[in-house]
Amino acid sequence: MSQWPDTRILDLLGIELPIIQAPMAGATTSAMVIAVSNAGGLGSMPAAMLSIEQLREELRTIRQHTRGPLNVNFFCHQPPLPDEQRARDWKNLLEPYYRELGVDFDAPTPVSNRAPFDHAACEVLEEFRPEVVSFHFGLPAKSLLDRVKATGAKILSSATTVEEAIWLEQHGCDAIIAMGYEAGGHRGMFLSDDLSSQVGTFALVPQIVDAVNVPVIAAGGIGDARGVAAAFLLGASAVQVGTAYLFTPEAKVSASHHKALRTAKESETALTNLFTGRPARGILNRVMRELGPMCDKAPAFPLAGGALMPLRAKGEADFSNLWAGQAFTLGVEMTSAELTRRLADEALAKLTHC
Ligand SMILES: Cc1cc2nc3c(=O)[nH]c(=O)nc-3n(C[C@H](O)[C@H](O)[C@H](O)COP(=O)(O)O)c2cc1C
């Protein structure tokens, strides 16, 4: 029998340990998902940067190597309407960098893509029937969500405010990810784009726990077992941990991201919209420092990244997103399986002695 003080997420998702490896588009590999799942946590495969065929391939691999429950994660934003003037203004702002690096300014701007959940992705879910499906930026249209629910999947989504948590519960989520301000990657915010509405994990988790009836998963700034135990004391039934998994050999991170995670100072993360058009937390680099991390001229999500792509080829560290949460210096090199077990074992020991 489980000794965890709250087993609602364990029972709901069919996992042994209340540790959810966060889906991290671009950084999570099927090897990471398999390792976490085999260790007893919930492995999460992000789909936002995969083609439908790549997603099928990843899910096939995961299903071959683990029998544990699987979470598949999608973005569900509205793709923006084209805005040529904004695209031009943005590229003009970046022109000095093109000149400095000798990159052809007049070449067509590449299109950066983060795919939203759609009919084709839904068919993949109907084929593989993952036990859990999580969304970021709200929920998809009801007709699509009904199809996902019909597969039997439990539905999760991120809330960054109490209002979003209540909305997600009312619209059919089985559990809510309370995503604090500390978290790495894109803010899951979807009811407001006002950054002053964003709340830290310590304040957000208990307020969401009080406001909804479904179980709550704490995310953001949880870098070791102290954070896991604290999340339980705040009323969470599980945690979702992202940045700490970037230090595992199963993570796919670029050389500059790898270096920044190990050398930046604790205070050197910020929310930035420069890389995609939506606020996301990453380690400060040159373009964030020089333009300011938030810029009105950045085109709508996910288009902003296109004009930065040619610059990355010449100056990767200066022009790439280096996503990380505020607790990134707690990261320790170990395998995904070890990290999952250590977070759980040490947190349980702390909670037992409370
Ligand atoms: C590199 C990176 C990529 C991320 N990509 C996604 C994603 O594709 N989907 C998603 O729902 N959340 C994404 N997130 C947010 C995480 O799921 C999670 O909420 C967050 O990492 C928790 O905070 P922490 O990084 O402080 O542990 C990402 C986070 C990081 C660090």
* Mean pLDDT for the stretch of residues 203-227: 98
Above 90 in pLDDT, residue 353?
A: no
In order of 11, 34, 238, the CA distances from 350 in angstroms are 22, 27, 15
What integer pLDDT is reported at residue 316 of this predicted model? 84
Q: Where does ligand 1 bind, in terms of residues with CB under 6 Å? A: 22-25, 27, 46, 48, 73, 136, 158, 179, 182-185, 219-222, 240-243, 323-325, 327
77 CA to centre of ligand 1 in angstroms? 16
Per-residue pLDDT tens over the stretch 53-87:
999 999 999 999 999 999 999 999 999 998 999 99
Above 80 in pLDDT, residue 131?
A: yes
Domain extents in the chain: 8-77+114-251+331-352, 80-113+265-323
* Mean pLDDT for the stretch of residues 109-138: 95
Q: Which amino acid is at 336?
A: S
Q: How confident is the model at residue 298 (pLDDT cuts 50, 70, 90)?
A: very high
* Mean pLDDT for the stretch of residues 123-132: 98
Above 90 in pLDDT, residue 114?
A: no
Distance (Å, whole) CA 205 – CA 305: 32
- In ligand 1, the atom with minimum distance to the C-alpha of 25 is 8
Above 90 in pLDDT, residue 115?
A: no
In order of 33, 282, 338, the CA distances from 132 in angstroms are 13, 27, 23
Distance (Å, whole) CA 254 – CA 312: 12
- In ligand 1, the atom with minimum distance to the C-alpha of 180 is 23
Per-residue pLDDT tens over the stretch 185-202:
999 999 999 999 999 999
Per-residue pLDDT tens over the stretch 19-34:
999 999 999 999 999 9
Above 90 in pLDDT, residue 215?
A: yes
Q: Please state whether the peptide bond connecting residue 279 to the residue before it is cis, i.e. omega within 30 degrees of 0.
A: no
Q: Which homologous superfamily does the CATH classification assign to the domain defined by 8-77+114-251+331-352?
A: Aldolase class I (3.20.20.70)
101 CA to centre of ligand 1 in angstroms? 31
Asked whether 274 and 287 are in contact (CB, 8 A), the reply is: yes
SS (HEC) of 115-136: CECCHHHHHHHHHHCCCEEEEE
* Mean pLDDT for the stretch of residues 144-152: 98
Q: Which two tokens stand for residue 343?
A: 């977070």
What integer pLDDT is reported at residue 82 of this predicted model? 87
Q: Taking the model in full, what pTM does it have?
A: 0.97
240 CA to centre of ligand 1 in angstroms? 9
Above 60 in pLDDT, residue 1?
A: no
- Using a pLDDT cut of 70, give the percent of the chain over it: 100
Q: Pick the residue whose CA is nearest to atom 8 on ligand 1.
A: 25
Q: What is the DSSP string of 211-276?
A: H-SS-EEEESS--SHHHHHHHHHTT-SEEEE-GGGGGSTT----HHHHHHHHHS-TT-EEEE-TTT
Average pLDDT for the chain: 97
Asked whether 334 and 342 are in contact (CB, 8 A), the reply is: yes
* HSE (side-chain half, CA atoms, 13 Å) at 273: 17
- In ligand 1, the atom with minimum distance to the C-alpha of 243 is 25
Closest CA to 295 of 137, 77, 78, 93: 93
